[in-house]
Amino acid sequence: MTTLTPVERQARRRQQRRAEIARWSFRVAFALLVFALGIALGEALHDNPKPGRMITLERTFTVPSVPPGSTATP
């Protein structure tokens, strides 16, 4: 069994801390990605129109007026 010098122990602790920070950073990044994809999916489902929706079309017709005193014959 090898005994480590204080400098080696400190270097090993730093490496372990870096590895732990990297692992947590990956976990947080993954969670944010999943969250963002969930929001994107929700917005996409919310924005799309529902199939089979009824569309109402409203038009206004104007009837040409006939001047008084004239007769309309076909």
pLDDT of 18 reads 94
Is residue 68 in some structural domain?
A: no
DSSP 8-state code for residue 65? P
Is residue 9 in some structural domain?
A: yes
SS3 11: helix
Is residue 6 in some structural domain?
A: yes
DSSP 8-state code for residue 57? -
Q: How many structural domains is the chain composed of?
A: 1
Q: Which domain holds residue 5?
A: 1-61
Is residue 66 in some structural domain?
A: no
Is residue 71 in some structural domain?
A: no
Q: What is the pTM of this model?
A: 0.54
1-5, 13-17, 30-34, 57-61 — most confident range = 30-34
Is residue 15 in some structural domain?
A: yes
Is residue 12 in some structural domain?
A: yes
Statement: residue 72 has pLDDT above 70:
no
d(CA 33, CA 21): 18
Instruction: Tell me the pLDDT tens digit for each residue of 41-67.
Output: 998 888 776 677 777 888 888 877 777
- 38: tokens are 């969930």
